[in-house]
Structure 1
Amino acid sequence: MTYLTLFLTALAAATLLPAYSEILVGGMVTQGYSLWWIWLWATTGNTTGSVINGVIGRQVDRFKHKRWFPVSEKQLDQARTRFNRYGQWSLLLGWLPIGGDALTLVGGIMRVPWLNFVVLVGIGKGLRYAFVIWVVLEASGLPGSP
């Protein structure tokens, strides 16, 4: 149940919902859970949340002309221009706490091929959780720290 909770928290953290999976990751590390499973479930959940953002992004063109749509055509064009500056490689930064969720949304708008999207976002998210685990191990002095 705890790994499922981690997966769901990491998934929510990758969407526009207010969730912080690092706190749960840190708690699980200090409680002696498997570092491999913590990393795997957090990375998988967070990457899945970003895929949801990408799916939503792919639907933007269907709704951009509706009165209730929260983003103007000008803002969409600006997002496309910024994304095109660095291309799909910018998805490696999808883990950033500020702008990362929007980046994965724009990746969907730009219709980055799914394999590239998942691999690039997954690498970034995996490195992020590896770093979080390392920091917790270092700070706590637990066995397994380098």
Structure 2
Amino acid sequence: MLNSDLVALGGLALSAFLAATLLPGGSEAVFAGVLALRPELSFAALVTATLANTAGGMSTYLLGRLLPRKEATPRLAAVRRWGSLALVLSWVPLIGDALCAAAGVLRLNWIACLAWMALGKGLRYAAIAWALA
């Protein structure tokens, strides 16, 4: 792998991680740019973006987990009802960060949260890659 490949994937990883935190931003344009400019990195880009975006989502989960436990509000009740499966939607703009934080506040099983979150985020990047192919 060339240094330029590592720079491209590193930039993608940073973008994907930050996009999944409470900070505003998106990584889809960076992902699409890597695919357009370096199509030979498609699989590596898909894996990198999925892992980094999932790590960012899990950091939001951890922040929620660090908050004091409180009574379930109506917003938390929906996440409690669906459990960690709700995190398949963690990629959705605006609600995704809230879902990750709510899962942490509710102390949902972190392994299940990680798995569902990674699935949803990976499918989103795979759909983008497919649409651009």
Shorter-chain TM-score category? Answer: 0.7 to 0.9
Aligned runs of 1:39-54 on 2, under 5 Å? 39-54=46-61
Q: Which has the larger radius of gyration?
A: 1
Conservation of the 8 A alpha-carbon contact between 2:49 and 2:125: yes
| Residue 124 (structure 2) aligned to one of 119, 122, 128 | 128
In 2, the alpha carbon distance for the partners of 1:11 and 1:100 equals 13
RMSD over aligned Cα, in angstroms?
A: 1.5
Aligned to 1:57: 64
Moved over 3 A (4+): none
Aligned runs of 1:1-146 on 2, under 5 Å? 1-33=7-39, 34-61=41-68, 77-137=73-133
In 1, the alpha carbon distance for the partners of 2:74 and 2:88 equals 20
Provide, for residues 37-93 of structure 1, a one-character-per-residue CA deviation record: whole Å limited to 9, x for no partner. Answer: 11011001100000100100001117xxxxxxxxxx68x622321212222211111
Secondary structure, in 3 states, of the residue corresponding to 2:73? Answer: helix
Secondary structure, in 3 states, of the residue corresponding to 2:68? Answer: helix
Higher fraction of helix: 2
In 2, the alpha carbon distance for the partners of 1:20 and 1:93 equals 15
In the TM superposition, residue 117 of structure 1 has moved relative to its aligned partner by: 1.1
Segment of structure 1 superposing worse, 44-53 or 32-41: 32-41
In the TM superposition, residue 32 of structure 1 has moved relative to its aligned partner by: 2.3
In the TM superposition, residue 101 of structure 1 has moved relative to its aligned partner by: 0.8
Identity of aligned residues (%): 33
Q: Which residue type is aligned with residue 53 of structure 2?
A: N
Structure 1 113/85 Cα, relative in aligned 2: closer, same or farther at 3 Å?
Answer: closer
In the TM superposition, residue 111 of structure 1 has moved relative to its aligned partner by: 1.1
